[in-house]
Structure 1
Amino acid sequence: MKSNFLKIAGLSIALGIMVVSCNKDDTTTTPTSQATSVVSDSQTANDQSESAYQLADDATFLPFGGRNFRETGETLDKGDGHFPFLGLGWGKAWKGKDGNCATVTKTVANNIITIVYDFTGVAGGVCGTQAVGGKMTITIPVKPDSTFSGTMVRTVTYDNLKRDSLTLNGSHTITTTLVSGKATASEKLATMTILNSNTGKTITYTSTRSRKIDNKGTGSRSDDESSVTGSTTGKSSDGTTFSTTITKALLTKNSCSNSKGFPVSGTEEITTAAGVKTVVDYGDGTCDLKYTETTNGVTVEKEKTKGKKGKN
């Protein structure tokens, strides 16, 4: 299971770095190599979307005692549908899993909770064994009562947020609509950039998505499943443009401990600047990191490589 901060940076748990395509150092770009690079970069965008959603969800869920952005059926958790003392009912400031080395502040104003993780003052710019820097800000509304129906907005914003060799800028806005206790989230990742300082290469993209959560009728998030549709456009790490369209909803399962956040089923079509189209198929729902790529009628089986504790 990834820690919150590492999810956002597209990293695996325990400070392991996910392999991303901007680590590639190809000297010659061919249509085939470009398609491979773009598929990997598109997966990085997928990972970023999952990471940002999970981070905002954790910040909402963990300290304030409710699954208030999945559904308002508080009877699952035996809650009364309200934050204690505007979400500040804990004896000490909540740091969550992202507080290591950062200066963490939490404020409430106009019914909005703002949590800031500031790494700019970390001595030597190193936390443990990893380089850190910049800031990350999460905003979430104070929780409404359990009968609420309407729209709420959460944001995760990155200001030169650095973890090891990756630096992130941009924002992820999650607009959740609750109707009769059921939630659907629309998401916008606006002008995201991920710079790899080892290679000097950057992925830049904008993504628009829709997410449905299936909580399996339980009060625990361990069995939740996310179904995501939408599209992404951007510039790949090789400097060329690309676009991705999810053609069959991408399904992720929290119960998949070794591949959490990675699709276990669904398909997407990825198009390079040269017009080469690749269909990526994530399988039949089995918890693994395997998928296939089909380009020009040729199908190749692949497996995602993650960090130190991921599956190779």
Structure 2
Amino acid sequence: MKNNFLKIAGLSIALGMMVVSCNKDDSSTTPTNQATSVVSDSQTANDQSESAYQLADDATFMPFGGRNLRETGETLDKGDGHIPMLGGGWDKLWKGKDGNCATVTKTVANSIITIVYDFTAVAGGVCGDKAVGGKMTITIPIKPDALFSGTMVRTVTYDNLKRDSLTLNGSHTITTTVVSGKATASEKLATMTILNSNTGKIITYTSNRSRKIDDKGTADRGDDESSVTGSTTGKSSDGTTFSTNITKALLTKNLCSDSKGFPVSGTEEITTAAGVKTVVDYGNGTCDLKYTETTNGVTVEKTRTKGKGKK
């Protein structure tokens, strides 16, 4: 089993990336600059989506939740890939890398495990060198039986969850359908807001996504790949509306350690309120943070910049 526990750290990485997106200078509001701003904000939404999914997946994978729902066969050497009975040790006090300052509670009711990370009582609102606050709640199912087919729902909910200068609100609902051992997830991110307290800027969005997992025929999640399609609508940090449509599935690879959660291939079309369309192409599958933006026939090569302390 991959030694990758439920990580608030994963969310911190995404939030680090978001700091860059939310700190843009919008003194110039030309259509081209607006398109660039919207692309960055749309990528911020993607970053958060990937982090929230990873949180829920990690929670389901660990002993207190059982094995995660992945696309597997029935002959893997470490299990059949479905959530087993509630494992021993699920209720042990475990806080994750960046949860050491939080009050963590885990409860079970009606076959649902609820895990709450509460930062509201952290002294001075600082954990290590990071400002913290608010709460994050994760719900996951205990078990179906080993041959389960049907749907299961997992959620990640943010209640003024603060990391450095950014505060998140909203919910990410993951509905996973399993048929003959094959899992497909539909994801809804509802009324998401990301507030930057340094600038006062807010990104708001709603997203509908569909995700397929390729486990590469192994029980180790380290080689898993996710293929995501769907759309996003919202308001960018410059105050204008935007929409994003994935036109070729965005592929992410767990093997890409320095760019984990960032697409290595796929395309999306992002449209600003002014009707300017930008096609973002994430490449040919290479593990990097590079991509291209094509607007009005002009293509620019770019590299996604992560926050301080992140590659």
After TM superposition, the score normalised by the length of structure 1 is: 0.92
Contact 1:82–1:143, Cα closer than 8 Å, also in 2:
yes
Distance 1:28 1:126 in 2: 35
| Matching residue of 2:274 | 274
Shift of residue 70, structure 1, vs aligned partner: 1.1
Shift of residue 160, structure 1, vs aligned partner: 0.2
Within the alignment, does 1:4 sit opposite 2:7 as a pair? yes
- Match of 2:46, SS state, is helix
Contact 2:188–2:208, Cα closer than 8 Å, also in 1:
yes
The residue identity in structure 1 corresponding to 2:11 is I
Shift of residue 187, structure 1, vs aligned partner: 0.1
The residue identity in structure 2 corresponding to 1:218 is T
Shift of residue 93, structure 1, vs aligned partner: 2.8
The C-alpha deviation readout for 1:216-245, integer Å capped at 9, x for no partner, is 011111000000000000000000000000
The C-alpha deviation readout for 1:185-224, integer Å capped at 9, x for no partner, is 0000001000001100000000000000000011111000
Contact 1:66–1:74, Cα closer than 8 Å, also in 2:
no
Contact 1:156–1:173, Cα closer than 8 Å, also in 2:
yes
| Matching residue of 1:287 | 287
Contact 1:20–1:44, Cα closer than 8 Å, also in 2:
no
Within the alignment, does 1:33 sit opposite 2:30 as a pair? no
Shift in CA distance, 48/250, structure 1 to aligned 2, threshold 3 Å = same
Shift of residue 146, structure 1, vs aligned partner: 1.4
Contact 2:6–2:96, Cα closer than 8 Å, also in 1:
no
The C-alpha deviation readout for 1:129-151, integer Å capped at 9, x for no partner, is 01000000000001222100000
Shift in CA distance, 67/74, structure 1 to aligned 2, threshold 3 Å = farther
Contact 1:228–1:250, Cα closer than 8 Å, also in 2:
yes
Contact 2:13–2:310, Cα closer than 8 Å, also in 1:
no
Flag structure 1 segments of 5+ consecutive residues without an equivalent: none
| Matching residue of 2:180 | 180
- Match of 2:48, SS state, is helix
Distance 1:282 1:168 in 2: 26
Instruction: Name the count of aligned residue pairs.
Output: 307
Distance 1:232 1:135 in 2: 25
Distance 1:278 1:156 in 2: 30
Contact 1:63–1:94, Cα closer than 8 Å, also in 2:
no
Distance 1:233 1:213 in 2: 24
| Matching residue of 2:226 | 226
The C-alpha deviation readout for 1:141-166, integer Å capped at 9, x for no partner, is 01222100000000000000001000
Distance 1:91 1:113 in 2: 10
Distance 1:277 1:10 in 2: 28
Shift of residue 25, structure 1, vs aligned partner: 2.0
Distance 2:42 2:214 in 1: 25
| Matching residue of 2:111 | 111
Contact 2:249–2:267, Cα closer than 8 Å, also in 1:
yes
| Matching residue of 1:95 | 95
Distance 1:269 1:2 in 2: 34
State the identity as a percent: 85
Shift in CA distance, 179/97, structure 1 to aligned 2, threshold 3 Å = farther
Shift of residue 62, structure 1, vs aligned partner: 2.3
Within the alignment, does 1:206 sit opposite 2:193 as a pair? no
RMSD between aligned residues: 2.1
Distance 1:157 1:82 in 2: 22
The residue identity in structure 1 corresponding to 2:39 is V
Distance 2:181 2:260 in 1: 26
| 1:112-131 correspondence runs (5 A) | 112-131=112-131
Contact 1:10–1:48, Cα closer than 8 Å, also in 2:
no
- Match of 1:35, SS state, is helix
Contact 1:104–1:117, Cα closer than 8 Å, also in 2:
yes
- Match of 1:50, SS state, is helix
| 1:1-312 correspondence runs (5 A) | 4-8=7-11, 11=14, 16=16, 18-64=18-64, 67-71=67-71, 73=73, 75-76=75-76, 78-79=78-79, 83=84, 86-90=86-90, 92-311=92-311
Distance 1:294 1:91 in 2: 50
Shift of residue 310, structure 1, vs aligned partner: 3.5
The residue identity in structure 2 corresponding to 1:206 is T
